[in-house]
Structure 1
Amino acid sequence: MKKLALLATALAMVTTGSAFAADLRVKALKAPPPPAFDPWDIAFGAGIMSDYIFRGVTQSNHNPSVTAYFEPRYNVNKDLQLYIGTSASSISFPNRAAAEVDIYGGIRPTFGMFAFDFGVWGYLYPGGSCFGSQGTLAQGNCGTSLDNSQGAIGLPINGNFAKKDASFFEAYAKLNIAINDQWTVGFNEYYSPNFLNLGAWGNYASITAKWTAPSTTFGASGVGMYVSGEFGRQWLGTSDIFYGIAGDPLYANGIKEPSYNTWNLGVGFTYKVFTLDLRYYDTDLSKGNCNAFTSDFSATNSSPGFVTPINGGANAATAFGSNWCSAAGVAKLSVDLTAMSNLK
C-alpha cells in the first residue's frame, strides 16, 4: 500500500508539473503586440555658418549666415516617403534681398542600397529692389515690365544691374548608394527653366562621396566623424535683355551666362543631434565672369585683367571683378532633430 501511495503521489506531481510547464510555454509564446506603425514624422533644425555658399558662389557676401528648416514627412511604408518642407536663410543679394525662403516637396523611394529623391524646390527672395539704368537703356531698365518692379533705386558704383525679383524653381532627381556602413556615393541633377530669374535656363549635375568613420573611432565618447566632397557643373543659357550689353552686336539682347565647375571637400564631427562641418569651396569662374554672372554689388576694382566678352567688353574701366566665386573656407554648426525619435 505504501508503494502504491508513493506512486500515486509521484504521478500527481509529474502531471501537475507537466501542466504547469505547458502553461509556462503557452504564456511565453504570447509576446506583447508590436507598436502601431506611425507613418508621420517631422524633421527640423537650424544652423549658423561663417559663409553661405551655394554651388561655389557666396549668397551672403562672404559674411556669416543663419538658417533653419522644417520638414513634415509621411512614410507610406519603410521604403517610400513623401515630404514637404520649408527653410529660411539670411543672405546678401545683388538686389539687396536679405532672406532666402525655400519651399520644396517630393518623394523618396528606397530599393535596398539605392535611395532616390525626386521633387521640386522653389527659391524665394523677398524684399529685393531693382538696380538699373532708370529708363535710359533697354538693358537694365527698371521701368520695364521685365522685373515687375515699381520704380528704380539706381546703379551701384560698379554699374551692375539687378532685378527686383530673383526667385526661381528647380526640379531635381537624386540617388544615394550606400555601398556599406562607411561609404556612400551620390548623383544629383537639378534643372530650372529660368535660373535666378536671369532669363537663362540652368542645369546642375554633381557627384558626391562620403566616408563615415567607424563608431569606435573616438571610443565611447559618442563623437562621430565623416569626410565628404562634391564635384559639380552648372550649365547656364542666355539671359534676357535686362542683362544685355548695350550696343554689343552679340550680347545686346542678353549675355551668354558663364557655365562653370565647382567643388567642395570637408570634414564633419557629430555628437548626438549636433554637427560641426568644416569645408573648402571653389569654382573655376574668373573674377570677370563671376561679376557678370552675379552682379556683385561689392565689386569695386576695375582692371584690364577682368575684361571678358560678357564683362566690360573692350572697356577696362567698366570691367569689375568679383570674388563671390573664389575659394572660401566655411565652418557650420548645426542641430538636426526628428520629432518621432529625438523628442520621445
Structure 2
Amino acid sequence: MTLPRRTCCSSSSRCGPPSCSVRFTLEDGDARMRAAQPFAGVTVTVVVTGAAGFIGRHLVRALTARGHHVVGIDRRRDVPPGATALTGDLNAVDDEASATALREADAVFHLAAFPGVRAAGPATDLRRRLDNVEAARRVLDRVPLHVPLIVTSSSSVYGGTTGSRCAEGDTPRPRGGYAASKLDLERLCARRVSHGGHVAVARPFTVAGEGQRPDMAIAMWIEAARAGVPLTILGSEDRIRDITDVNHVVIGLVRMLDRGIRATVNLGTGRGHRLGDVVAAVSSAVEREVTTVVQPAAAQEPYATLADTRRCASLLGFVPHTDLGALLRRQAAATALAAGASA
C-alpha cells in the first residue's frame, strides 16, 4: 500500500463506469507488498474480531489448529472452543478487556461488521456506520502500528461488473450503504498506512459453506428447497456470482498473516456461476426438485461479480477454487445437522 491517491473520474475501471474515488493499493510487483518478517511457523497471540461470525468461526478454528493463542471478540457468546472468548462491543468506550487484547496482540484479524448488502433504512444506516466504520476506527487506533492487521472488506466495493474481472487497482464504485461503509473502512486503513502501519485488506467474493448467514441467498435457497417453497431469484437466472468456499477464504487470510502481506487482495476464484446453475446445485444438494420465482433486483445488486486472481496467486501462492456441487452439499448437510441439534 501507499498513501491514498485521488483518482478523479478515471476511465480505466473495468468493474463499472468511471467514478471519483480513492485508491489504496500498490502496483503489482512492488516489494513493499510483503513485510520482511512473515509469521509462518511462529506461534503468536492473535485477536479475531467477529469471531462468532460466519468467516470468523472458521478462521478461529484454523488459527487454533496451528497452535496460535486466539482471542475471539464478539457480541455473541458462541466463539469456537479453543479460543479465549471476550464478549464485548467494539463501540463501547468502557470495554477495557477488548481494548487491552487489541493493544497486546501479536496480530489482529478485524472481521467484525454489520453485514448485509440489501438491508436499508435510517436505523440500518446508523448501525452500519457504528459497526463498520466507527468500530473499525477504534480497532485501528488500539492496535500498535507495527502489529500486522488483516482487515476484511468486501468485493461489493467494486460495484459489480458486466463480465470482466475486478482487479484490486480498479476504481471502486460502491452501490448502497453496505459497500460504501466498506470503502470507508478501507480509507481508514489507508490512513493507518500513511502513518507507517502494517495493514492488509482482504476483499472476499460471495462466500459460501458451513455456517453461512441465514440471510444470504444460498442459505435461504437451501431452507426454501427443504420447505418445498419457491426459491426467489433477484433480477435474472443469468446473473453471475463468483462463489468462494469459506475454507479457501480462511486459507487466504492465514497466508496474508504468514507472508506478512501489506496489500489489498481479492479472495475469489475468478470463475462465475449463473444463479440458475446455483439453484440447480441447491436442488441436487438437498435432493429435491425446486421451483423458482424471479423478482426485480434492487439497484445495489450487481449483474455479476468476478475476481481478478493474479495478485492472490502472486502474493499468496494459490487461487481459491470452488467445486460448487460439493460446497453446497457440505453446506446443506451442516444446515441439516444444526437444525437437528436445535430441535
Q: TM-score range by the shorter chain?
A: under 0.3
Relative to total residues, which structure has the larger helix share, 1 or 2? 2
Normalized per residue, the structure richer in strand is 1
TM-score (norm. length: structure 1): 0.25
Q: TM-score, normalised by structure 2?
A: 0.25
Larger Rg: 1
| Structure with the larger RCO, 1 or 2 (CA within 8 Å, 6+ apart) | 2
